[in-house]
Structure 1
Amino acid sequence: MDPLSTARLIYVAPAAGLSGVGDYADDLVATFAPHFASVTDYRIETEGAESVRDVVRHRRRVRDLVHAEARPTVVHFEQSSGSLSTFWASAVDLGQSAIVTATVHDPPHPVWWPLKTRGVARNRALHHAVHYPARALHTALQRRVMKGRTVFALTDTGARSIELPYPSTRTVAARIFVPERPTSPALSERPTAVGLFGHVYGGKGFDLVADLRRAIDPDIDIVVAGRGTASLPTVPGVRVLGEVNGADEDAFFASIRFLVVPYRKHGAYGPSYPASSTITRAFAYRTPVVCFTEGSLAETVRRGGAIGGDTVEELGAVVNAAVHDTVRLRELADAVDSVSREDALSRCAITFLDTWRSLLSHRAGLETARS
């Protein structure tokens, strides 16, 4: 008998619409659900603006859900750099019978700023005063919470980055899935344009738009879309759409030949190695990527469907050389299609499901031996 069929899954993640992690969670938990006897999908609606009271409330609620039944239970947390409640809820004593796992979205750390409540976040100086000097202490705390647990990273690079600071944690390399989207026109049939897409915040590269405009030939349009982009400074020769969803998102990707991803993930707190949901969104529309060759993005370039560079000028040169090259566009489209099929949702879910099966079977074997 499949051990998942008699187990319950308690799935803890940010609410949809608040972050890319919450949006990612919607599709993934729906894929997990048919394999379990029951699923409790618990979402953190305060993600990104949490008070201490919110964190305590979510901790108690998750603990109560776990202890409500005695049957085999998997508790899975989606953890990212600023997700307080999903981290602190995982730090509660959830009992010996529950199997606790997590996806670490911003490796190597489950959470980078474990004290970044709404009040702390309002004051930039206070935020850094609270977190920067205490980095070693916060890592030690997370090492203690993660000891003996299994966590998932969404790239091979991310999984390797966790192993050094968290040697007592078992890390499984999974993949971030490519979602399903409507068919887009062939690359050579799209307008001669490139785009930037995503949620505007530090490290996403939106501050480099003016530099990219200078590096990319003037006959190639630049279109920018995503949450928060409407407030970006005006740059001549750059068209800003603001947030796009549904048919507007479909139209955005149908209007560009490349997505430019100028992410930098080496900040004052150290390098991070996240998988990019922006890239998987581009691949869903069979759109190749031009990106910096660093961190997990280097892995994306190696797998295919992306071209890398080390500077803005190199990204511009790549775009200028490839955007009119029909042979190169066809090669890139084929590579994107191959990766997208390999990283389809149903295939990516298998790594999680098989890992949970193994953990449940191992736990059942231990309990049988003790009895």
Structure 2
Amino acid sequence: MLSDYRLVYVAPRSGVGGVGDYADDFVDAVRPHFRDVVEHRHDGPGHDSVRDILRHRRAIDELVDDPERTIVHCELSGGSVVPFWATWKLDGDPVATATVHDPPGLVWWPARTKFLAGQKVLNHGLHYPLRALWRRLETAVAGERTFFALTAAGADSLAREYPRATAAASTLFVPERADLTPAEERPLAVGLFGLVYRGKGFDQIQQLRDRLPREIAIRVAGRGTEQLPPVDGVEIVGEVNGPDEDAFFASIRALVVPYGRRTIYGDAFPASSVVTRAIAYQTPIVCMKYGALAESDGGAVVVDGDITDVADAAAGLVADEMALAALRREVEALRRANTPEFVVQDFLAEWNKAVGAAATRSGAQ
């Protein structure tokens, strides 16, 4: 059925955060299933004015050549006001769906345009005291759309917040990466990886270093890590791509993911692209039992505690080659199972349901 449809795909540009990277792989995986796929890419959160959003809206409307044979799908994450507003009530009422990357909020700050992005106090002053009102607005925009979450906890939170919408659970697929030396044969080291921002645990590097035995090295890589304060006994690598990313994961036995609560607005249940990157590189994970990270399907040590408990678990794991090898095999199984081609079947199934329901409504009118 979808082979008769156009997919209009609204997503951040390549390289714009983890969602932009995800979008590149996602659109390649779904493209063969549609008559044609047209992409509308935009800048990251905080780059667009109200006028820009209206321009995006007009451009997306023009891409919907036949509303009865079009699906508009967008990527929604914290601060992504362009797809939030520009795909609402499109002309001709095509099927509109979205992947929500930071559920239960669709966008969290619906008014955070370019102006407010440069006014942190004003942005929070406008959104935090009125968060119940903004959530009602999100509910109105959600309507009866189908939303995808990349964790079961995320889908449950969407179902609670938006009872008229359909909430579907999928998973974050594992990108294709190089085969590395088995984790138990790599240098005695742990790593932290990812984009630096609040709640990712980079502020706890000193505590991690103080608790880990000195013979266990710590290496830190990702966008913004080069600006972290130096810590004795910690190697800060900075942003890594391509062969440099391969080399970083080949230099650690396990990835430490000490995420905590990231927002004053309430609990969020995002999937972790950092965790899937570790899986892609056949690297076991040690993480806190926070949000969707507690949903581990294997390959991870999930710690119900603080950074001290995480450090102790990581130290025990990387020193035990048998335990490390067992987790590595679990990671490899997840890598084989959660390919983009397999994961997008969740989306194809829901899209088929949505277009079938739309056709039934159209025939009844």
8 Å CA contact 1:197, 1:224 repeated in 2: yes
CA distance in 1, matches of 2:119, 2:126: 11
Q: Deviations over 1:137-196 (max 9, x none)?
A: 111011011111110000101101111111111100011101111101011211101111
CA distance in 2, matches of 1:46, 1:53: 16
Which of the numbers 178, 181, 184 marks the counterpart of 1:185?
181
Counterpart of 2:70?
Answer: 73
Q: Deviations over 1:97-120 (max 9, x none)?
A: x10000000000110111122221
8 Å CA contact 1:18, 1:48 repeated in 2: no
Matched, 1:221 2:222: no
Counterpart of 2:56?
Answer: 58
Counterpart of 1:85?
Answer: 82
Q: Deviations over 1:206-260 (max 9, x none)?
A: 1111111112111111101111111111111111111100000000001001111
Matched, 1:157 2:150: no
8 Å CA contact 1:15, 1:47 repeated in 2: no
Amino acid at match of 1:271: D
8 Å CA contact 2:282, 2:332 repeated in 1: yes
CA distance in 1, matches of 2:123, 2:204: 25
8 Å CA contact 1:188, 1:329 repeated in 2: yes
Counterpart of 1:103?
Answer: 99
Count of residues in Structure 1 that have an aligned counterpart in Structure 2: 364
Give the 3-state SS of the residue equivalent to 2:181 in structure 1. coil
Give the 3-state SS of the residue equivalent to 2:111 in structure 1. coil
CA distance in 1, matches of 2:113, 2:22: 23
CA drift at 1:38: 0.8
Matched, 1:125 2:121: yes
CA drift at 1:290: 0.7
8 Å CA contact 1:59, 1:92 repeated in 2: no
8 Å CA contact 2:46, 2:117 repeated in 1: no
8 Å CA contact 1:8, 1:71 repeated in 2: no
Counterpart of 2:284?
Answer: 288
Amino acid at match of 2:23: A
Amino acid at match of 2:312: A
5+ long unaligned stretches in structure 2:
none
Counterpart of 2:171?
Answer: 175
CA distance in 2, matches of 1:344, 1:85: 29
Matched, 1:367 2:365: no
8 Å CA contact 2:194, 2:223 repeated in 1: yes
CA drift at 1:205: 1.2
Counterpart of 1:11?
Answer: 9
Q: Deviations over 1:312-349 (max 9, x none)?
A: 00000001111111110111011111222221111101
CA distance in 2, matches of 1:128, 1:162: 23
Amino acid at match of 2:310: L
CA distance in 2, matches of 1:275, 1:265: 14
CA drift at 1:46: 4.9
CA distance in 1, matches of 2:176, 2:44: 28
Correspondences of 1:267-278 after superposition (within 5 Å):
267-278=263-274
5+ long unaligned stretches in structure 1:
none
Give the 3-state SS of the residue equivalent to 1:308 in structure 2. strand
CA distance in 1, matches of 2:112, 2:360: 41
Which of structure 1's runs of 4+ aligned residues deviate more than 4 A? Answer: none
Give the 3-state SS of the residue equivalent to 2:190 in structure 1. strand
Counterpart of 2:143?
Answer: 147
Q: 1:71 to 1:170 in 2, by over 3 A?
A: closer
Matched, 1:308 2:264: no
Amino acid at match of 1:354: A
Higher alpha-carbon deviation: 40-49 or 9-18: 40-49
Which of the numbers 238, 241, 252 marks the counterpart of 1:242?
238
Which of the numbers 19, 22, 28 marks the counterpart of 1:21?
19
Give the 3-state SS of the residue equivalent to 2:358 in structure 1. helix
TM-score by length of 1: 0.95
8 Å CA contact 2:11, 2:20 repeated in 1: yes
CA distance in 2, matches of 1:106, 1:47: 13
CA distance in 2, matches of 1:208, 1:86: 34
Which of the numbers 320, 323, 331 marks the counterpart of 1:325?
320
CA distance in 1, matches of 2:46, 2:324: 39
Q: 1:364 to 1:347 in 2, by over 3 A?
A: same
Counterpart of 1:34?
Answer: 32
Q: Deviations over 1:31-69 (max 9, x none)?
A: 111110011111013544222222222122112222x33
Amino acid at match of 1:151: F
Q: 1:168 to 1:71 in 2, by over 3 A?
A: closer
8 Å CA contact 1:291, 1:315 repeated in 2: yes
Q: 1:241 to 1:183 in 2, by over 3 A?
A: same
8 Å CA contact 2:9, 2:74 repeated in 1: yes
8 Å CA contact 2:201, 2:260 repeated in 1: yes
